[in-house]
Structure 1
Amino acid sequence: MRVHLCAVGRLRAGPERDLIDDYRTRFDRTGRALALGPFSEHEVEDKKGGGMEAEAELLARALPAGAVLVTLDERGRVLSSPEFADQLAKWRDGGRQDVAFVIGGADGIAPSLRARADFSISFGRMVWPHMLVRVMLAEQLYRAASILAGAPYHRA
């Protein structure tokens, strides 16, 4: 199952980019034997300043056809890492070819796109900087693959 990160904004070179690249490499390496991956990123930018709805339209165009749509939203479900791994495995084992994780802009994800989501995840009730959410998601994807592989990375 291919994994897509669809996000508003461009991530420049720096510590966040380095961390995401590292976790993406780890995920692709660990996930390959589990039919997970590759992990790809799709960045969109609303240069016309149209707000959440314009961002939602750009994000919708970046989504692969038929993908499981997962929003990262403070109103979403809070999952443990093993629960997240189990959910990925359920989608994969259910024959889904793609899963797309969506991270909105500074104002969040437009209600119209949130309503289309198959699943919504929260990293807690706090609001996180969008660039850090990308890093946290990349790390959790790698952690999920390592849990499913039985690797010792996750210690609970």
Structure 2
Amino acid sequence: MKITLITVGKIKEKYLKDAIAEYSKRLSRYCKLEIAEVADEKTPDQAGETVEENIRNKEGERILKCIHDDMYVITLEINGVMLGSEEFARKVEQLGVQGNSSIGFVIGGSIGLGKEVRKRADYALSFSKMTFPHQLMRVILLEQIYRAYRIINGEPYHK
């Protein structure tokens, strides 16, 4: 299976780059992993809703260019469905059984995802009602994908 993380912005912090590299290495025995980074827009302080919507739309256009027609798209959204690790593993396994050989996980920028990206999504996933930095979310998502493959393969994992 091919897993693509489509993310807004670049990772600057070394500790996050190191964690992403570690989980990417671990995942290489289970799937083909690709990380597509798209440029983020500068959000001015005290930006109004119109300005924020324009920013989400610009970032959204870049995200949509990374999404292939045959890709099953899962957006990370605060109002998405919350799953436990075992449920998430079953979801990933189910997608493979149903013939989805390409899954795209979309992590938006600091002010979220545009309407067109949310409309293109096949599934909206939430990790929490809390807000996380989108750079850190990459590490959390990669860890959960790795954990899912461990569960799918009946291998030990921390509960």
Common fold, TM-score beyond 0.5?
A: yes
Q: Identify the residue that residue 34 of structure 1 maps to in structure 2.
A: none
Distance 2:108 2:123 in 1: 15
Among residues 24, 40, 45, which one is paired with 2:39 in the alignment? 45
Distance 2:144 2:86 in 1: 10
Shift >6 Å, 4+ stretches: none
Give yes or no for contact 1:146–1:154 (8 Å, CA) kept in 2.
Answer: no
Question: How many residues are aligned here?
Answer: 149
Q: Identify the residue that residue 126 of structure 1 maps to in structure 2.
A: 130
**TM-score (structure 1 length as normaliser):** 0.90
Among residues 53, 66, 70, which one is paired with 1:66 in the alignment? 70
Q: Report the residue type matching 1:81 in the other structure.
A: S
Q: 1:47 to 1:105 in 2, by over 3 A?
A: closer
Query: Percent same amino acid among aligned pairs?
Result: 36
- Unmatched runs of 5 consecutive residues or more in structure 1: 32-36
Give yes or no for contact 1:23–1:139 (8 Å, CA) kept in 2.
Answer: yes
More deviation in 59-68 or 84-93? Answer: 59-68
Structure number with larger C-alpha Rg: 2
Q: 1:121 to 1:47 in 2, by over 3 A?
A: closer
Distance 1:46 1:12 in 2: 13
Give yes or no for contact 1:10–1:45 (8 Å, CA) kept in 2.
Answer: yes
